[in-house]
Amino acid sequence: MTSILILNGANLNMLGTRQPEIYGSATLDDIKSLCIAKAEEMGIGISFQQSNSEGALIDEVHMAKNHQNGIIVNAGAYTHTSIALMDALISVDLPVIELHLSNIHAREEFRHKSYIANAAIGIICGFGAYGYELAIDAMTRHLGIKR
Ligand code: DQA
């Protein structure tokens, strides 16, 4: 069965109470439920993970190599800082979609730079929790799965 890793980085465990005016009121568990429902609709499996640690995120990417068909990543602030996570994403040779709840290009200038973008086939940002569904749609279409 086709399966996608949905990887969430730093501070995304705080969703729901973290700056809801920017990130919305959905918790990460709410978003996980959305993703499970969307994946079922598309007939694929998902592994939904979150870590605040850069190394743990890199380990998840490495583990995806022989077990997943693609990676959707909201790396949080590591997006703007982590060459190591970018290198990991490039090293596993899987399609990567970069995802953000907020429109990072309409925010502070330091959020405009993304290292993850170098590893990505495309970027979805600014659509809140719905972006996760959009990303699953985009990844399944990229993988040639039709529903
Ligand atoms: C974020 C945007 C990042 O700039 C920020 O550091 C986050 C969340 C988003 O989903 O909008 O933690 O990735």
Q: Look-up: residue for tokens 């809140």?
A: 128
pLDDT one-digit tens code per residue, 81-124: 999 999 999 999 999 999 999 999 999 999 999 999 999 999 99
Pocket test for ligand 1, best of 57, 72, 102, 124 (most atoms within 8 A of CB): 102
Separation between Cα atoms, residue 85 and residue 71, nearest integer Å:
12
Q: Is the CB of 76 under 6 A from ligand 1?
A: yes
Residue 19 has pLDDT above 70, yes or no: yes
- For residue 55, name the pLDDT band (cuts at 50, 70, 90): very high
Closest Cα to atom 9 of ligand 1: 100
With beta carbons less than 8 A apart as the criterion, state whether 85 and 61 touch: yes
State residue 1's pLDDT score.
Answer: 92
pTM, two decimals, is: 0.97
- H helix count then E strand count, the chain: 5, 5
> Would you give the end-to-end CA distance of the chain in angstroms?
15
**Separation in Å, CA 50 to CA 3, 54, 100, 106, 147:** 17, 11, 14, 25, 28
State residue 9's pLDDT score.
Answer: 98
Q: Is the CB of 31 under 6 A from ligand 1?
A: no
| Cα 125 to averaged position of ligand 1 atoms, centre (Å) | 9
Pocket test for ligand 1, best of 8, 22, 79 (most atoms within 8 A of CB): 79
Kindly state the tokens that stand for 94.
């899987």
The candidate with the shortest Cα–Cα distance to 45, out of 70, 65, 63, 66, is 70
State residue 147's pLDDT score.
Answer: 66
